[in-house]
Every structure is written in structure tokens, then in C-alpha cells.
Amino acid sequence: MSSASWPTAAHLSPANLEIVPIGRAHLAGFHAAVDSVAKERRYLAMLEAPSFTRTRRLVLDSLKAGAVHVVAVAAGEVIGWCDLRPKTAPTLRHSAVLGMGIVAAYRGQGIGSRMLAATLELAWARGIRRAELNVRSDNAPAIALYRRFGFVDEGTCRNYICIDGVDYDALLMARLAP
């Protein structure tokens, strides 16, 4: 899918934006949204989305394993996602790793806040007791969002991400269930 099929930001209003659990009908849109954010080469560990087949498998497997995964849908198109994937080791299953992103044109309008609120509420209800993430230290909007939702810094992972030959630090941030 090309970005041409996303609705224009001007068409976005709280009335036509839904935050919903991901379903099979959203998989192609989710894949396109991940690919778009990854290709900015700034925010995600991946620089492009895995193939659609692999993405589909990863999502369906992680849902089976207890992940929470919501998407933001505007005028029928997926424009963002937020997921929390529980770790697999028996001693770490109470703990889940957060990932999120929004197609560039839709940022800074509170959609990330809505997705994160919905994801955390579902996660706590499901018994997840710790949410954690790594975020590039220079990603100020994401860090501001996480802090506002009670995530605290647990450390700096030095030279954690290497993009185009440049190393970047990342913050390890986490919050516990209320």
C-alpha cells in the first residue's frame, strides 16, 4: 500500500478515528504503517517492515501468546499501532515490551496518547504487571509521551542503535501496573 491511500490529516477528527484491537482486516494496513515509519530510519530498530507474510505470522503468533495490540484507524485506514508483547521465559512472562508508531502526518494530535492509554488498560486487565521499552535518547516526543504515562528511566543503553554508521544511545524505560 502506498501513502496515497491514507486519509489526509485534514480528514481526521476524533469522530472518525477509532482505537481498536488489531484484527485480520487490519493486517495489510498495519504492515504498511510499520513500513512507512521504519523507512524514516529514525525511530524503530527495523529499517523496513518484514514481509507481509512474516508480519502477519508475527502478529497472529504474538496475539496467541497474550500480546495486546491496538491500531488507530482513520477513515478505514490504519495510521498507527501500539503493542505490548509479553516475554516468553517463564520468569519474565509478567513483563511485556512496548512498541508503537504513527504515520508521520498524524503525529502530535493526541493519537499516541489514546493508543497508549488503551493498550495499558487492556494489559493491566490481562495481568501484565510490567511494561518496558527502549527508545532512542533523542526521540523527545516519544520520551515525553512515555513519561506522561508514568514510565520512568531505568538506564541508558549506550550505543544501542546503529543507523547509517552512527551509534545512538537508548533509554530503557518501564512502568509497573497500578
Ligand X SMILES: CC(C)(COP(=O)(O)OP(=O)(O)OC[C@H]1O[C@@H](n2cnc3c(N)ncnc32)[C@H](O)[C@@H]1OP(=O)(O)O)[C@@H](O)C(=O)NCCC(=O)NCCS
Residues that bind ligand X (CB under 6 A): 37, 43, 100-102, 107-113, 133, 135, 139-142, 144-145, 148
What is the closest distance, in whole angstroms, from the C-beta atom of residue 105 to ligand X in the complex?
11
What is the closest distance, in whole angstroms, from the C-beta atom of residue 80 to ligand X in the complex?
6
Nearer to ligand X, 37 or 84 (CB): 37
Beta strand 130-136 with 95-102 is parallel
Closest alpha carbon to 63 in 91, 32, 26: 26
Distance CA 54, CA 72 (A): 21
Residue 81 CB partners (closer than 8 Å, separation 6+): 22, 30, 33, 34, 69, 70, 71, 72, 99, 100, 101, 115
Q: Which residue is nearest to ligand X (CB)?
A: 112
What is the closest distance, in whole angstroms, from the C-beta atom of residue 15 to ligand X in the complex?
17
Nearer to ligand X, 127 or 152 (CB): 152
What is the closest distance, in whole angstroms, from the C-beta atom of residue 90 to ligand X in the complex?
27
Nearer to ligand X, 95 or 139 (CB): 139
Nearer to ligand X, 45 or 92 (CB): 45
